[in-house]
Amino acid sequence: MLNSDAILIMGSNMAENHPVAFQWVMEAKEKGSTVIHVDPRFNRTSAVANMWVPLRAGSDIIFLGALIRHVLENELFFREYVLHYTNAPVIIQNDFGDTEDLEGVFSGWNSEKKSYDPASWMYEGAAQDGKKSSAPKASESEGGHTQHGAAAMPDLSKYKTDPTLQHPRCVFQLLKRHFARYTSEMVERYCGVSEESFLRVADVYCKASGPEKTGGICYAVGWTQHSSGVQIIRCAAILQLLLGNMGRPGGGIMALRGHASIQGSTDIPTLYDSLPGYLSMPKFGEESKTFQNYLAKYKPRTGWWNNYDKYIVSLLKAYYGDAAQPENDFGFHWLPRLTGDHSHQGYWLDMMDGKMDGLFVMGENPAVAGPNSGMERRALAKLKWLVVRDMVDIETSSFWRSAPEVQSGEVRPEDIQTEVFLMPAAGHAEKDGTFTNTQRLLQWHQKAVDAPGDSRSENWFMFHLGNLLREKAKKDPQPKNAGLLALTWNYSTEGPHQEPSAEEILKEVNGYTVADRQLVPGFTALKADGSTACGAWIYAGVFPKAGENRANQRASKDFYGHGWGFAWPSDRRIIYNRASARPDGKPWSERKKLVWWDEAAKKWTGNDVPDFVATKPPDYVPGENAEGDNALAGDKPFILHADGLAWIWVPTGLADGPLPAHYEPFESPVSNPIYPNQQVNPVAQSKTRAGNQYASSPDARFPYVLTTYRLTEHHTAGGMSRTLSHLAELQPEMFCEISVEMAHELTITPGEWVTVVTKRGAIEAHALVTPRVQTLEIEGKLIYQVGLPFHWGYTGLVKGDVGNDLIAISEEPNVRIMESKGLLCNVLRGRRADNVLGVKELLEAQKVAP
């Protein structure tokens, strides 16, 4: 970020939540970079930015779409980059229909199934089933956390382009047409941002791009926690690609993750639909009937993912060791199959319906942090057993005796049959392990002290639990236990508590050759014949040989930090960095050079590890039937895509469209101004049911826009901060932030208690009245916004009402995240207990036209 000439922070409060990383933004600013912060509230990031633009929560795609339009209309895009490195020149099939023509939906919409058939979004000329296989053609675009939510893998190596970017069906023209009505005037009317401000942002940011300059974008849950979250991020991707900022120093998109190692928890996933290294969990059905079917779906003919089989086989070897052989498809059939929505929201609703017996909750506090947390707490009461692993007695483990609904008498502990086990957990200084941060950087942390009493690490817990289960499985030789028994589970242990060796686990993750147990130097050494094992191909290389734990290295030797930790993949600090050089291999400019082709040495070199086959020359042309990475030319930096191009247009893999389209949040004060006939994202799920109801858009009962956020002083659901006096005293009580005008109109005295109500429930908070929350003029009327932090709960040194009680359970189409930014609420003066009647009226009242 120190290299950025402009930094756009949107959907993020970076200084607040990533203060240590933010030092680089401050340094960039001191060097002359312009920091732009677009956010409904003026918070700690805005205070130190160069520009703050207040924006209506939920209107991000209008704003970003207008930026895209600005770039296109004013021809500010980085032409050569766009032409060679993106799919802008690619021509799309002629049966594609845009939202412009189909009243807010794309072609392929099936209103019964509520999903899209993506066939019409495909490149013209790309074969639908390029490989001869029995792979089924699913007709649903499924999305998901991995690369491949698509139907049978189409062959994207075959497509037609128009290098003049004029063809009416080339991506570039389709893009232009799609965003034509996302004007600065729309931004003023529906985002609450004056045209002048918008144009200033556009001007500054666009000027900070091109061969000599780069701009970076940072985002966080201000973007992701929306019913169109993925598409908001897609807007940023399109913008950065048009401006030529991807794969270049100071460019890129920084996805600021929610806490210390959440990047690691998607890499070695705790996500239900992925396997380590973003491989796909098999779905029940045709695709997983045979291993060949599975590979046909997920292993494309071209691009780096052609190595998919090497990675999945090596993973299976790591899981099952000698029990994984070619004859039994390496144990592929022991992997679980997805049968539906097993996301947090998915199974929690199943829990609510009494379909779950038990749950392990580890390092999470859904009673406070879950959406519609009141409903989540009620769902917990339907379990037979609940195991909570944490360092303190959090709200999730004490829901049955101290939740607000228990305190009010609405729910009685005697009626709750759930048996709750609270297992004490060790903190990060009490165990070995790694963190993987937003920069994909693995850093090892060492155990400094013994955990007190019975507190144990996750490794210890899972390892010994696994041993106990395997013991039981040995006595119960059913087919379903075969996989459990086949697992390699023989880590060495040390110490009085028999702590499994974290280093051994990291080595297993790195990978090794099976015959001699030699560690592999990187993922290029992995094979599909069962001779290698690897816990996560993207991490291969972190422990390349005995004694060399690169995650534990702390000797930074250059500007990019090589020698300090290990950034996957292969310690490439900026991925897709081939794009920092021209098609001919020379840097775009001296100022922004990163990697380049060394003609003498015949390899790629530079200031970073090249994210490219080192010996592939820039002028390489693939042969007719080349496969894998060999099918990609020497000027195609985006090697994980089957076409080697960056995708301005997403032909396959997203559930809700090849391009972002603006839809309003589930609860909005306005109708969708861009597509009046399609209010919300058609593929997003509202999960409407008793206890999870929505206001209408707009709704006179709930006239204010609600958004949630974090504070620096607290950490997520507060289990680690509201229990420590030094943090608890910094922000002891729940509060909301409202504008001066709103306080005046509702006669709210600064500091007094108010009750914030949504269709899901009511909570109380102090009213912090401040001009940092602006009243916005939307479509001629004044919109008040209410901001709420979400850190408080009913246990700990400092307590308060649970903000997430107000949020609904909803699912974004691709990753199933809930919408917590951009809801509707009402605000009543006084405490919750004093407003019981008023709240009841609001929740039961019929919808009234505003």
Binding residues for other proteins, rule: CB under 8 A, are: 15-16, 19-20, 22-23, 26, 30, 42, 44-54, 194, 196-197, 200, 700-701, 703, 711-713, 725-733, 735, 740, 743-744, 746-751, 766, 768-772, 774, 797-798, 828-830, 834-835, 837-838, 841-842, 845, 848, 850
Nearest to other proteins of 631, 783 (CB atom): 783
Residue 587, preceding bond cis, omega within 30 degrees? Answer: no
Tokens coding 195: 């045209």
**Residue owning tokens 């990291």:** 506
Shortest Cβ 35–other proteins spacing (Å):
10
Shortest Cβ 707–other proteins spacing (Å):
17
For residue 356, what are the CA distances in angstroms to 361, 372, 384, 713? 14, 19, 8, 36
Nearest to other proteins of 632, 754 (CB atom): 754
Shortest Cβ 95–other proteins spacing (Å):
45
For residue 811, what are the CA distances in angstroms to 114, 477, 686, 819, 823? 13, 39, 6, 7, 14
Shortest Cβ 565–other proteins spacing (Å):
18
Tokens coding 747: 């006669």
Cα torsion for 73, 76, 79, 84, to the nearest 10°?
-90
Burial of 516 (0-12, 13-18, 19+ CB in 10 A): exposed
Shortest Cβ 830–other proteins spacing (Å):
4
Mutual orientation of helices 308-320 and 291-298 as an angle, nearest 10°?
140
For residue 74, what are the CA distances in angstroms to 70, 173, 425? 6, 14, 57
Shortest Cβ 762–other proteins spacing (Å):
13
- Report d(CA 577, CA 440) in Å as an integer: 15
Tokens coding 524: 């290029």
Nearest to other proteins of 204, 575 (CB atom): 204
Shortest Cβ 16–other proteins spacing (Å):
8
- Per DSSP bridges, beta strands 781-783 and 776-778 are antiparallel
Shortest Cβ 596–other proteins spacing (Å):
33
Nearest to other proteins of 532, 835 (CB atom): 835
Burial of 192 (0-12, 13-18, 19+ CB in 10 A): buried
For residue 755, what are the CA distances in angstroms to 342, 380, 761, 845? 34, 26, 10, 17
Shortest Cβ 724–other proteins spacing (Å):
9
Nearest to other proteins of 107, 835 (CB atom): 835
User: Vertex 97, ends 94 and 103: CA angle to 5°?
Assistant: 165
Burial of 176 (0-12, 13-18, 19+ CB in 10 A): middle
Nearest to other proteins of 801, 811 (CB atom): 801
**Nearest residue to 401 via CA among 418, 413, 419:** 413
State the amino acid at position 212 in one-letter form.
Answer: E
Write out the DSSP string of 325-348: -GGGGGGGGGS--B-S--SHHHHH
Shortest Cβ 71–other proteins spacing (Å):
22
Nearest to other proteins of 148, 759 (CB atom): 759
Nearest to other proteins of 25, 92 (CB atom): 25
Check if the beta carbon of residue 147 is closer than 8 Å to that of residue 278.
yes
Burial of 722 (0-12, 13-18, 19+ CB in 10 A): buried
Nearest to other proteins of 29, 593 (CB atom): 29
Q: What is the three-class DSSP state of 67?
A: helix
Nearest to other proteins of 179, 735 (CB atom): 735
**Residue owning tokens 């380049």:** 596
- Report d(CA 57, CA 847) in Å as an integer: 23
Nearest to other proteins of 50, 134 (CB atom): 50
Shortest Cβ 789–other proteins spacing (Å):
11
Nearest to other proteins of 470, 829 (CB atom): 829
Tokens coding 93: 């099939």
The H or E element spanning position 449 is none
Nearest to other proteins of 50, 677 (CB atom): 50
Shortest Cβ 849–other proteins spacing (Å):
9
State the amino acid at position 63 in one-letter form.
Answer: F
Nearest to other proteins of 644, 789 (CB atom): 789
Cross-strand partners of 825: 704
Shortest Cβ 588–other proteins spacing (Å):
30
Nearest to other proteins of 686, 774 (CB atom): 774
Sign, CA dihedral 609-614-618-622, equals negative
Check if the beta carbon of residue 511 is closer than 8 Å to that of residue 523.
yes
Shortest Cβ 402–other proteins spacing (Å):
18
Residue 150 φ/ψ, nearest 5 degrees: -95, 175
Shortest Cβ 137–other proteins spacing (Å):
51
How far is C-alpha 189 from the chain's CA centre? 30
Greatest Cα pair distance in the chain: 81
Nearest to other proteins of 482, 724 (CB atom): 724
**Nearest residue to 400 via CA among 376, 420, 430, 385:** 420
Nearest to other proteins of 614, 833 (CB atom): 833
Shortest Cβ 26–other proteins spacing (Å):
5
Shortest Cβ 44–other proteins spacing (Å):
5
**Nearest residue to 708 via CA among 785, 652, 610, 797:** 785
